[in-house]
Structure 1
Amino acid sequence: MPSPNVGEMEDRGTLLCAVAAVAVLVSGMIELGTEVWQFYSGTRHVLFALVVAGTALAVGVMRRLPWLALALAWLIPVCQVVTGTPLVITQAAVVMIAFGLARWGSPVILWLSALSILAGAVTAMVLLGFDALRITIPSASWYLIAGTVNELGIGWQIGTFLLLGALLGMPWLAGFALRISDRARTDLARAARERAQAEETARIRDAQTRLARDVHDVVGHSLAVILAQAESGQYLADDDPAALKSALATIATSARTSLRDVREVLTTTRDSADDLDQLIGNLRDSGHEVLSSQEGMPLPLDEARRTTAYRVLQEMLTNAIRHGLRGGALIVRRNWADDAFEVEVRNAVSPGTAESSPGSGLDGMRERLVAVGGTLSASRNGDVFVATARIPLS
C-alpha cells in the first residue's frame, strides 16, 4: 500500500487541528455554563470568551503557523495575569499545542517550545507563590492536587514545577517522537526513489552498452567481409568480369545482411539467435575458407546462451578475418560436453608480427560470456592465434 505524500499528510494534519480547535470551543462553552462562573460578572465572561477563542486559534494554526501558536500560548497567560483573569480548565489544550509544535514546528520553533515548557513551569510556580495567578477549578480538585504534591515531600514549589513540566513535557516528547518517525519515513522514501532511479539508470546504461556491442558485432563482421572482398578485387584479372561481379554480389549481400541485422537490433533491442551453421555458411559463401568441425551431441540452449554463442562466434570470425593471414583458412571447432559448450576459432597470423590482441572485441566477448557464467581464453601459439569460448549448459 503506497504511503501518503507530503501534501496529503499536511492536509490531514490541518484537518485534525481544525477539529481540535472546534473541540476547544465546545469545551469552553460547556465550562462557561458550570457553577464556577456563575459568580463572575459579564466582563469576566467576555474575557473568558477571548481566552477560549485565543486558545482555540492557537490549536487550529499549530500545523500551518506554529510560530503564531507559540506566540498565542505565551500572550494569552500574560494578558490574564495583567487583567487578573483566572486560568480556565479549557486552557489545558496547551498540551495539544506542545504536541503540535514538537511535531510540525521548524527547528527554531521546536527548541523554543522546549524552552517554553521549562520557562512556563518556572513562571507558573513563581506566580502561584505570589498569589498572582488563579485557577478556576473546583475546590475539591484543587485540594486533591495540592495534597498529592505535598505527599511527595519535596515542597509545593518543586512539586508544581515537576507536575507542570510533566504535563507539558510528555505530549512534547510524543510529538517529537512522531516528528522523528515522519522524517525517517521521508528519508526511506527518498532513498527508495534514489535507488529506483539508480537501478533505472544502470538498466538504461546496460541496454545502451548491449546495443553498442550488438551494433559493433554486426557491423564489424560485415565490414570485415566487405573489406576482404573489396581488397581481393585488386587481384582479379581484368578479363574476368564474372569474378568481379561475384565479388560485388558478395559485398552487396554482406551489406544487405548487415543493414537487416542492424535494423533488427535497433527496433527490437534483442540479440539475434541465428544458427551457428548459417553464420559459418554465410562466411563461406562470401569466399572465405572455413574448416568447421563439431564434436559431441548438440544440446538445446536457452535464448541467452544461444545469443551469446552466436555473437561470440561472430566476433571471433570478424577478428580472424581482420587480423589473420590474408587468404588463410579459418578453423572452427565446436565441442558439446555434458556440462559446457565450447567453440574455438583458429587463424594463421603473419610470421614475425607482434603478439597483440586481435582487435578490441575481446572485452565485449568476455562481458557477454561472463553474463552467462562463461569464460574466454585467447592466446597466440607461434603463427596461430587461438580463441576459445566456454559456455556452461546449466
Structure 2
Amino acid sequence: MTGTPGSRTPRPASSPSSSPSQSSSSSSPEIEQLRRWLEVWWPDLLAGLLVLFAAFVEWNSVYGYYLPPSVLAAPALAMALAVVLTRQRPAWALGVLWALGLFQFTYGNQIMLVQLSIMYVAFGVARWGRPVTVWLSLISVPLAALGGLAYIEVFGDGVVFQLGGRFPGFVGTWAGQFGYRLMAMLVIAVILLLPWLIGLAVRLGVRASASDARASASDASREMAEADAARAQLESEQAREIAALREEQARLAADVHDVVGHSLAVILAQAESAQFLDDDPVVLKQTMTTIAASARTSLQDIRQVLAGAQQASAMATAGSFRELVDGVRASGHQVMVTEVGQPRPMPPELEVVAHRVVQEMLTNAIKHGRREQPLSVERHWPEGPYAHDLRIEVRNVAATRLADTQPLDLVSPRDTGGQGLGGMRRRLEAVGGKLDVRTRDEPEGPTFTVTAWLPVSGR
C-alpha cells in the first residue's frame, strides 16, 4: 500500500529536526501552484474529456465493426486538445485544427461526427482570441470550405453520403437537389461561420459592457472630483471669511484700544492735576468740564469705531490732529508742535492710520513722560521730487533713567498680541509705512522718541 496518497513513510529517528510540518510547507508552493492551475483549467479539461467520451461512443456505435480505434485516435485526440486550449490558448487551438485538417487530407483519415465540436472552437477563438487570431480564424472559414471540397474530390463522393446517412433523410434530399459539392461547402461554412459570429457578438457585447462600466466609473470619479472641488472651494471661502472677520476684529480691537487708552490717559492726567489746584470753584469746575468733554469725546469716538470704517475715516480728518493736541494740552501737559512743509489732504485710509498713530504716540508720552517736561510733536511733510513720506515724530522726557542711545525691539514678550507700539507698527506696515522707537540720553534728561513714516505720495 506504499505510495498511496494517504500513506506515510516512517522517518528515521536520527533526524528529529525533520518534522511533517516542514515537509508539507516545503511542498506547499507546488501544491498551491497546481491548485491555481486546476482552478483555471478544470472547465476546459472537463470539456476535453466529454469530447473523448463522445468519440468513444461514436466509434463503438458506428465504426467499431470495421475500423480499429487507432484509425480514429488522431481526430478524437486532436479535437479534445483543441477544445481544451480554446478558452486559454485560442491561437494554439486554431493551429491544432489546421494540423488535423492537413493530416486528414494527407492520409485520407476518416471524418468523425465528434469533429462538429469545431463549432465550439470557432466560437471560442472569436470570443477570447487576440485580434490577429480572430482575423486568422475568419480567413480560415472559406479556406476550410475549399479544403472540404478538395477532400471530397480526392477521396470520393462516398464520404459525403456516408456522413449524410447519419443525419435525417432531408439532408440527403438536399444534397441530391443542389449537388453534394455545393451542399458540403455550405454546410462547412455555416458550421464554422455561425458560431464564429456568435462569439464575435459576445466579445463585442462584453467589451461594450466594460466600456459602459468604465464610463460609469469615470463619471462617478468626475462627480466625486467635482464634489471635492466644490467642498474645497467652500472651505476656502469660509477660511477667507473667517480670516476677514479676524482681521476686522483685530482692527476693531486696535481702534478701541487707541481711543480708550488715549482718552483715559488724558482724563487721568486731568484728574491728577485737579489734586494740586487751589480751592477755586471756577478752576475746579473748568477742570471737571474738561474731564467730561474728554469722556464724551471718547464715547463718541468709540461709537464711530463700532459704526464702521466709513464713520471712522470721517472722524480722522485733517483737523483731528489739532483736536488730539488740544486734548493733551487741556490735561495740563505742554505740547510743542512743529509743522514742516505744506500739509496736504490724504486718502481716508491714510488719514485713519495717521490719526491712530499720533493718538497712540501721545498716549505713550502722557503715560511714561515727565509731567513738567513738554512734549515735542513734529510733522514733516514731503518736499521735493524725491520725498514721498510724511514723517511724524513725538519726543518726551522719560520718568526713568534710560540706557545709551539704542533702538527698541517692537516685538517683545509683553507686546505680543498687544496693541501699543506693535499695533502702530502693524498699522503702518499695512499701508507701506514703518516705525522706529529709540531711547536717548539728552541734556534735559532721558528721552523717548517715536518716529513714523507714512507714504502720502505715489512712488
Q: Same fold (TM over 0.5)?
A: yes
Does residue 392 of structure 1 match 2:455?
Answer: yes
User: What's the counterpart of residue 317 of structure 1?
Assistant: 362
Counterpart contact for 1:214–1:265, Cα < 8 Å:
yes
Within 2, Cα distance between the matches of 1:254 and 1:219? 11
Does residue 332 of structure 1 match 2:332?
Answer: no
- Which residue identity is paired with 2:316? A
Q: Secondary structure at the match of 2:275?
A: helix
Within 1, Cα distance between the matches of 2:376 and 2:137? 100
Higher Cα Rg, which structure: 2
User: What's the counterpart of residue 263 of structure 1?
Assistant: 303
User: What's the counterpart of residue 177 of structure 1?
Assistant: 218
Within 1, Cα distance between the matches of 2:388 and 2:237? 37
CA displacement, residues 299-358 of structure 1 (integer Å, 9 cap, x when unaligned): 221011111000100000001001111232110000011311111000111242689879
CA RMSD of aligned residues (A): 3.5
Partner residue of 1:235 out of 269, 272, 276: 276
Within 2, Cα distance between the matches of 1:351 and 1:149? 99
Counterpart contact for 1:295–1:335, Cα < 8 Å:
yes
Q: What pairs with 1:296-311 in structure 2 (closer than 5 Å)?
A: 296-311=341-356
Within 1, Cα distance between the matches of 2:222 and 2:322? 63
Q: Secondary structure at the match of 2:136?
A: coil
Give 1:296 shift. Answer: 1.1
User: What's the counterpart of residue 49 of structure 1?
Assistant: none
Within 1, Cα distance between the matches of 2:423 and 2:241? 22
User: What's the counterpart of residue 399 of structure 2?
Assistant: 350
User: What's the counterpart of residue 438 of structure 2?
Assistant: 379
CA displacement, residues 262-313 of structure 1 (integer Å, 9 cap, x when unaligned): 1111223543313312322232233321100111111221011111000100
Partner residue of 1:253 out of 269, 293, 296: 293
Give 1:231 shift. Answer: 1.2
Q: What pairs with 1:212-231 in structure 2 (closer than 5 Å)?
A: 212-231=253-272
Q: Which has the higher contact order (CA 8 A, sep 6+)?
A: 1
User: What's the counterpart of residue 82 of structure 2?
Assistant: none
Counterpart contact for 1:211–1:269, Cα < 8 Å:
no
Counterpart contact for 2:438–2:449, Cα < 8 Å:
yes
Give 1:163 shift. Answer: 3.1
Structure 2 unaligned spans of 5+: 1-86, 91-116, 121-125, 139-195
Structure 1 unaligned spans of 5+: 1-121, 133-142
Counterpart contact for 1:149–1:160, Cα < 8 Å:
no
- Which residue identity is paired with 2:136? G
Q: Secondary structure at the match of 1:294?
A: strand
User: What's the counterpart of residue 362 of structure 1?
Assistant: 421
Within 1, Cα distance between the matches of 2:199 and 2:425? 78
Does residue 289 of structure 1 match 2:339?
Answer: no
Give 1:173 shift. Answer: 1.6
Give 1:154 shift. Answer: 6.5
Aligned length: 258
Within 2, Cα distance between the matches of 1:154 and 1:228? 108
Give 1:174 shift. Answer: 1.6
Counterpart contact for 1:330–1:347, Cα < 8 Å:
yes
Per the normalisation by structure 2, the TM-score is 0.51
Per the normalisation by structure 1, the TM-score is 0.58
Counterpart contact for 2:403–2:440, Cα < 8 Å:
no
Between the aligned residues of both structures, percent identity stands at 42
Query: Structure 1 pair 152/257, CA: closer, same or farther in 2 (3 Å)?
Result: same
